[in-house]
Amino acid sequence: MSSGHDRPVLPETVLVAGGAPLGGELRVPGDKSISHRALIVGALGEGTSLVRGLSDGDDVRRTLDAVAALGAEVHDDGEVVTVTGGRSFLHAPLGPVDCGNSGTSMRLLAGLAAGFAGVTVLVGDASLSARPMDRVAAPLRAMGAKVTGNGLRCLPPLTVNGASLEGITWAPEVASAQVKSAVLLAGLFAAGETSVREQLRTRPHTEELLALADADIEVADEGAGRTVRVRSSPLRPIHVVVPGDPSQAAFWIVAACVVPKSALRVRGVYAGETRTGFLSVLRRMGARVRLDEGAPGPAGEGAGDGAGAGAGTGVGDGDGAGAGARARAGAGAGAGAGAGARRGTACSSVGAVADVTAQWGPLSATVIDASEIPSLDEVPALAVAAACAVGTTRFVGMGELRVKESDRLRAVARLVDAAGARARIEGDDLLVEGVGGAWGAGGLAGAGDAWGAGDGGGWKGLRHFRFDSEGDHRMAMAAAVAALAAGPGESRIDGFGGVATSYPAFLAHLRHVGGHARVQLIAIDGPAGSGKSTVSRAVAERLGLERLDTGAMYRAVAWAALDRGIDPQDAPSVAELAHEALIDPGPPDVVIDGAVVTGAIRTAEVNRAVSAVAANPSVRAALVERQRAWAAAHGGGVVEGRDIGTVVFPDADLKVFLTAAADERARRRRDEPSDGVARRDELDSTRAASPLVQAEDARLIDTTCRSVEEVVDEILSWLR
Ligand code: CDP
């Protein structure tokens, strides 16, 4: 089995510019709650289930690994996840199942594990190990399973000893979709009927998926509550497309509402009543939001209309700003539709799915009660809408926000203030006094020139800002939306890396719809042995940035010249080679015209030849152009070389010039004779074309007798 792909790394600092309208359409990552359940119900189906558009977050990956450990065969090709299972395949795992930080995984898997013989041990990380499992343990015990954990509240690790279960009627005191799901899953293995009666309807995804798998299930709504009954019966494999996560769609919908002259369509979003309260709030604020329900889901029974497929692929295959391979599956469900059609498999969407269209327009303040948006996940985005509205919006009963990934109540207030609107916390309420945006004093009259360029009035909306999300993914994304709405100018968002846990393709999507985002560009120059490579590698890693070793490009051309018997001094021939060669500077490997030369470019022969090659102005022109193209494609990055701060990127955000005492540099370059290093230094420093010199505005660091960590810390301190 394969559990997919490594987590993409996103930059810690992102610079987002306003001043550009947003347009087009996109798909957000697959819904997390539905993704977990699709994997588990898929594992129970007798045969092979197909799941497209699975969430690319770490939590869902835990469930994917877990169902494999329980005996299902799982394969993830980056677009489609197949789960081959059936009751007789499932068994207690050989070792503990690690649920990471995912409470959903642990609670749902406890229900599943209760159904088969043997012991299943579910473990979690430190934070999950502090979360009580008693509400799940109690009904499972009542059904006949042995469930043990630590202490009265049954903290993980959780040990589930499966048994022959008896159906029960369970009415949880606190409405919880996870407890309901665990009981229903166990109920699939129990004798007789199992029913769960909830006072308040919670997310219905387990019911939806079980119905799709032809389970013997009945659902009855009673007022605000619901009763779900199941009986044991074989399940059919499911072919599902996980609809888009509404809490992620909220960022784009709000962005369309607040960025002047914008219109966006988010396709294939889960639109069930328990998840779309934020849309009602926006409508009440006057937002132009339209829901096209019944729109074909991402795969629309394999119909996959062309526009959707195109947009999905285009978005997902973003420009390397961090869109991971799994992100391709989440964002590019349209592409999955094509694959489905090819394989002749019909896929159903889970629950109500809609395309949501939103347009810029005037917003007015409202009162928002916590019960309208039960998880409060959309509050950061709604706060940005409130910051752009006319009047003061009151968010009532937001206490729970204090215990999210950060103290989100304080963080939202900080963001609103930073962007030029006013926030106040009163007890558990949050008040946001909006700036009114381009709709403020000028009203609709200003709309013709939304950015205020022509009316002499200037920009009246949010202003650009600096904000630290402190690693909270939703705060970072909300800040990006505020930055897009903040008129011309660039906002700086720190702590952006956390976005990788829930929406790795966010930046690629932002660019896809016309937003401008970049990362910092850091130029590191210096002579051989000054520590450039080590330091730039470490700086890139700490900042979540890509790194370009321009020396490797010159070395690759020198290697290719020698390989083809071209004299390195033969300027026209080497120049021709440099212009025509295809060079991939890596990482991981340096490749020139298909030859992997990672090791070969570090030989004595190349050392001797490279300075002459690098002194050739035409070679430099060819390589500098590619270096600039690399930075444009990555939106910035760490670039090391000898002329980066002076010639290639004179406008870099930070320029560093490294040096070290000659004898220390020679010691560090033991692979190269010291007179060779000295000769290269001499040639590099005295050549006419882009000689090695410190840029006037570069910071100089002498790395002699200093640890890499010290040097890196100093460089990072200059970025603060
Ligand atoms: O590893 P070391 O610092 O010795 O050199 P490198 O970065 O691999 O670069 C090898 C050679 O390429 C240098 O000696 C320069 O002649 C040339 N180079 C350059 O001219 N301009 C750059 N931006 C990078 C390297």
> How large is the angle between the packed helices 32-44 and 103-113, nearest 10 degrees?
20
How far is 315 from 704, CA to CA, in rounded Å?
Answer: 46
Q: Please report the pLDDT score of residue 499 as a whole number.
A: 87
Which residue has its alpha carbon closest to ligand 1 atom 12? 551
Candidate of 603, 684, 692 to mutate for ligand 1, largest count of ligand atoms within 8 Å of Cβ: 684
What is the phi/psi pair of residue 592, to 5°?
Answer: -125, 125
Q: What pLDDT is recorded for position 487? A: 86
Atom of ligand 1 nearest to the CA of 530: 3
Q: How far is the CA of 8 from the centre of ligand 1 (A)?
A: 29
Q: Where are the alpha helices (DSSP H) in 443-504?
A: 473-484
User: By alpha-carbon position, which residue is closest to atom 9 of ligand 1?
Assistant: 551
In b/e form, how buried is each residue of 210-228, taking b as 16+ CB within 10 angstroms? bbbbebebeeeeeeeebeb
pLDDT at 175: 78
| Contact of 543 with 13, CB cutoff 8 Å | yes
Phi, psi of 108 (to 5 degrees): -70, -40
Instruction: Report the 10 Å Cβ neighbour count for 629.
Output: 10
**Rg of the chain (C-alpha set):** 29
Which residue of the set 377, 468, 549, 643 is catalytic?
Answer: 377
pLDDT given for residue 363 in this prediction: 96
For residues 397 and 368, the answer to whether their CB atoms sit within 8 Å is no
Question: Measured between alpha carbons, how far is residue 460 from residues 47, 220, 422 in Å?
Answer: 59, 51, 14
Q: How remote is the CA of residue 640 from the centroid of ligand 1, in Å?
A: 9
Ligand 1 atom nearest to 533, measured from its CA: 1
Q: Residue 632 has which token pair?
A: 């444009």
Residue 615 alpha carbon, nearest atom of ligand 1: 20
Contact predicate 362/390, CB 8 Å: yes
Select from 297, 286, 314, 271 the least CA-distant residue to 25: 314
Length of the chain: 720
Contacts 24+ apart (CB under 8 A), 143-146: 143/114, 143/167, 143/168, 143/183, 143/186, 143/187, 143/190, 143/194, 144/190, 145/114, 145/186
Would the pTM count as exceeding 0.85? no
pLDDT at 7: 53
Q: Which residues contact 46 (CB under 8 A, 6 or more apart)?
A: 85, 86, 87, 234, 235, 236, 237
| Ligand 1: centre distance to CA 460 (Å) | 49
pLDDT at 697: 95
Annotated catalytic residue 377:
yes
For atom 11 of ligand 1, the residue with the nearest CA is 551
- Using CA atoms, how far apart are residues 25 and 331, in angstroms rounded to an integer? 11
Alpha helix positions (H), 155-203: 177-187
Name residues contacting ligand 1 (CB within 6 A): 528, 532, 550-551, 554-555, 610-611, 614, 641-644, 680, 684
User: Among the atoms of ligand 1, which is closest to the Cα of residue 683?
Assistant: 16
Residues (pLDDT < 70) of the chain are 1-8, 294-346, 403-405, 437-457
Q: How far is the CA of 582 from the centre of ligand 1 (A)?
A: 19
CA 543 – ligand 1 centroid, Å: 24
Q: How far is the CA of 641 from the centre of ligand 1 (A)?
A: 6
Mutate to test the pocket of ligand 1, among 550, 557, 665 (most ligand atoms within 8 A of CB): 550
Name the closest-CA residue to atom 4, ligand 1: 528
573: left (phi over 0), alpha (psi -120 to 50) or beta: alpha
For residue 525, give the ligand 1 atom closest to its CA: 23
Nearest CA-CA partner of 148 in 139, 138, 158: 158
CA of 555 to the centre of ligand 1 (A): 7
Q: Can you tell me whether residue 53 is helix, strand or coil? A: coil
Which of 554, 555, 657 for a ligand 1 pocket mutation test, highest count of atoms within 8 Å of Cβ? 554
Q: Where are the alpha helices (DSSP H) in 419-544?
A: 473-484, 506-512, 532-543
Instruction: Give residue 617 CA to ligand 1 midpoint distance, Å.
Output: 14
Residue among 308, 631, 329 nearest 505 (CA): 329
Percentage helix, strand, coil for the chain under 3-state DSSP, each rounded to 5: 40, 20, 35
Q: State both tokens at 364.
A: 């007015």
Among the atoms of ligand 1, which is closest to the Cα of residue 549? Answer: 7
pLDDT tens for residues 525-573?
A: 999 999 999 999 999 999 999 999 999 999 999 999 999 999 999 999 9
pLDDT digit string, tens, across residues 354-374: 999 999 999 999 999 998 887
- What contacts 24+ positions apart, CB below 8 Å, involve 405-410? 405/471, 405/472, 405/473, 405/474, 405/475, 405/498, 406/469, 406/470, 406/471, 406/472, 406/475, 408/376, 408/379, 408/380, 408/472, 408/474, 408/475
> Considering only CA atoms, which residue is closest to atom 16 of ligand 1?
611
